[in-house]
Amino acid sequence: PGAKGLENENHVYVGRDMTKHIPGAKGSIYGNPFTQKDGTLQERIEKYENHLTSSPHLMSSLPELKGKVLGCWCHPNSCHAHIIAKHVDLLPEVSGEKEKEKEEKEEK
């Protein structure tokens, strides 16, 4: 048994490498590099947002997360995944994206 939900193609794990504890929970490029030694939870989340927005590689990778469910182990606490989701939600709509979503809903 691996990490619940990781086998779903619409779920993306955005945390640190946890394979030592949970099979399949490989580290993500979006994992928060800041740990408890780097400040309070809120400070680490603020540092993560700066880390994310100052990284052209991470920012250019965000569109691949559009429409995905982000997973981490912080729930119910605040989490860097909320920062990622916020920036994914700020991305402009891709032409045809709304039409595709509408078609998928109509098929169900």
24: alpha, beta or left? (left if phi > 0; alpha if psi -120 to 50)? left
Give, as one character, the DSSP assignment of residue 65: G
- pLDDT tens, residue by residue, 50-91: 999 999 999 999 999 999 999 888 878 899 999 999 999 999
Predicted TM-score (pTM) of the model is 0.77
Give the Cα separation of 80 and 82 in Å (integer): 5
Q: Domain segments of the chain: what residues?
A: 11-107
Q: Where does 1-108 have alpha helices with state H?
A: 41-53, 56-61, 80-89, 97-107
- pLDDT tens, residue by residue, 3-41: 555 567 888 989 998 888 888 778 999 999 999 999 999
Token couple for 57: 């590689």
CB 52 within 8 A of CB 58: yes
Give the Cα separation of 80 and 49 in Å (integer): 8
Q: Tokens 């909320």 label which residue? A: 82
